[in-house]
Chains A and B, each alone.
Chain A
Amino acid sequence: MGIKRVSVYGLCSLVMLCVAFSAHTLMAETPSPSPTPGQTQQATQAVEQGNAEHHAAIPQYFTTKPPFTEGIFPCSTCHATMKPDRTRRELQFHTEIDLQHATKQRWCLDCHDADNRDRLKLANGDEVTFEESYLLCGQCHGNVFRDWKIGIHGKRIGLWNSDKPGDKQYFLCVSCHSPHSPKFKPLKPLPVPLKPKAITETKGTSTVDIEGKKIYIPVYSK
Chain B
Amino acid sequence: MKRRDFLKGATSVAVALGLEGIALPAKDAKASVWEEFFQKYFREMNQAEKDAVVKRLEADYKKRFGKDIKVSTKGPLPNVLYGYGLDLSRCIGCRRCVYACVTENNLSRNPQIEYITVLRFKNGEKWVDDLEEAEKYYNPEVVPEPEHFYMPVQCQQCERPACTKVCPTKATWKEPDGIVVVDYNWCIGCRYCMAACPYGARKFNWGAPTIPVEQINPNTHYLGNRPKHKGCVEKCTFCIQRVRENPGRYPACVEICPVGARKFGNLLDEKSEIRMLIETKRVFRLKESLNTNPKFYYFFSL
Could you list which residues of chain A lie within 8 angstroms of chain B, going by C-beta atoms? 147, 150-162, 164, 167, 171, 176, 184, 186-195, 199, 202, 204-205, 213-216, 218
Contacts and interface: CB of A to CB of B under 8 A. Distances in A.
Contacts of A160: 243, 247-250, 254, 264-265
21 contacts: A147-B301, A150-B273, A152-B281, A154-B260, A160-B249, A160-B254, A160-B264, A184-B92, A184-B259, A189-B95, A189-B139, A189-B142, A190-B99, A192-B137, A192-B138, A193-B98, A199-B111, A215-B99, A216-B102, A216-B109, A218-B110
B112 A218 contact: yes
Given A159-B249, A199-B206, A187 B117 contact: no
Interface residues of B, number: 55
Interface string B93-129: 1111011001000000111101001000000000000
B247 A161 contact: yes
A147 B277 CA distance: 9
A214 to B, nearest CB: 7
B217 interface: no
A189 B140 contact: yes
Interface string B196-224: 00000000001000101011000000000
Q: Is the interface of A mostly helix, strand, loop or mixed?
A: loop
Contacts, number: 124
A153 B260 CA distance: 7
Given A159-B247, A189-B143, A194 B112 contact: yes
A218 B273 CA distance: 38
A195 to B, nearest CB: 7
Given A153-B260, A160-B248, A187 B273 contact: no
Contacts of A158: 249-250
Interface string B252-271: 00110111100111100000
Nearest to A167: B247
B265 A216 contact: no
A195 B247 contact: no
Nearest to B251: A160
Contacts of A184: 92, 259
The DSSP consensus for interface residues of chain B is loop
Given A160-B250, A161-B266, A193-B112, A151 B276 contact: yes
B110 A176 contact: no
A192 B112 CA distance: 11
Contacts of B136: 193
A188 B142 contact: yes
B210 A205 contact: yes
Contact of B142 (A155, A161, A187): A187
A84 to B, nearest CB: 36
A189 B212 contact: no
B46 interface: no
Contacts of A162: 247
Contacts of B265: 151, 160
Nearest to A214: B215
Given A147-B301, A150-B273, A152-B273, A191 B250 contact: no
A188 B142 CA distance: 4
A193 B94 contact: no
A202 B96 contact: no
A36 B287 CA distance: 64
B48 to A, nearest CB: 29
